[in-house]
């Protein structure tokens, strides 16, 4: 049985020090996004590597086939979902770093509002 979840906002980010390392918060955000993006690229490269090796082992498609590949509707929908998750991980860094405190509190209150009206 799936249990009701709570405290999701609380476990979304760490409580405590949020220092600014570079000359300002915006530069910190940019640096963070670049580093997050680096992770995305490295993982993608590993996945491609797995894909190509598995395919080659079975006598399957090669680079030229990939160059000419056209995604169908289902593939496009899948890619769209993946993109949103990627943007959340990468661009979310900037969002979390630069969102003003007053709006963070509003987000927390929105959660409370949802809880009490939907209870």
Partner 1 sequence: MAEHFGHAVMPQATHDEQAMEDHFLAMRMWTIQNIDPLDKRLVNELVVPAVEAKTGSRPKSSAQMRDMLEEEPFHQYWLSLSFFYQDQIWRSLGASIDRQYAELADAVATQTKAPRGRLVLDPDLPIPRYIAAFDHHRMPGSYHVDVTETDFRAGALYDRFASTYLRHLNGGWRNDGRGQTLVAHLRDFYPDFTPRRILDLGCSVGHSTCAIAAAFPDAEVHAIDVGAPMLRYGHARAEAMGQTIHFSQQNAEATNFPDGSFDLITSSALLHETSARAMRNIFAECHRLLRPGGVMAHVEVPPRHEHLGLWEQMRCDFESHYNNEPFMAALSRVDYVKVSSDAGFDAADVVVGYRKGVADARASRDDFFTQGDPEGRTLLGSWYVCSAVKGTYTNLP
Q: Does residue 31 touch partner 1 according to CB under 8 A?
A: yes
Shorter beta-carbon distance to partner 1: residue 61 or 89? 89
Question: Looking at 23-31, 55-63, 69-77, 103-111, which segment touches partner 1 (CB under 8 A)?
Answer: 23-31
Largest CA distance in the chain: 58
Shorter beta-carbon distance to partner 1: residue 21 or 77? 21
Q: Does residue 43 touch partner 1 according to CB under 8 A?
A: yes
CA distance 24 to 8: 29
Contact with partner 1 (CB under 8 A): which of 26, 35, 95, 106?
A: 35
CA triplet 10, 16, 84: central angle to 5 degrees? 50
Assess contact for 19 and 69: CB atoms under 8 A: no
């Amino acid at each position: 049985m799936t249990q009701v979840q709570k405290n999701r906002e609380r476990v979304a980010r760490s409580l405590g020090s949020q220092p600014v390392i570079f000359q300002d918060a915006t530069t910190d955000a940019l640096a963070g996004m670049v580093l997050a993006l680096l992770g995305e690229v490295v993982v993608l490269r590993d996945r491609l590597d797995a894909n190509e090796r598995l395919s080659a082992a079975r006598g399957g498609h090669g680079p030229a086939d990939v160059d000419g590949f056209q995604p169908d509707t289902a593939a496009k929908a899948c890619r769209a979902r993946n993109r949103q998750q990627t943007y959340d991980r990468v661009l979310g860094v900037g969002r979390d770093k630069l969102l003003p405190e007053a709006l963070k509190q509003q987000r927390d209150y929105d959660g409370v509002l949802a809880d009490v009206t939907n209870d």
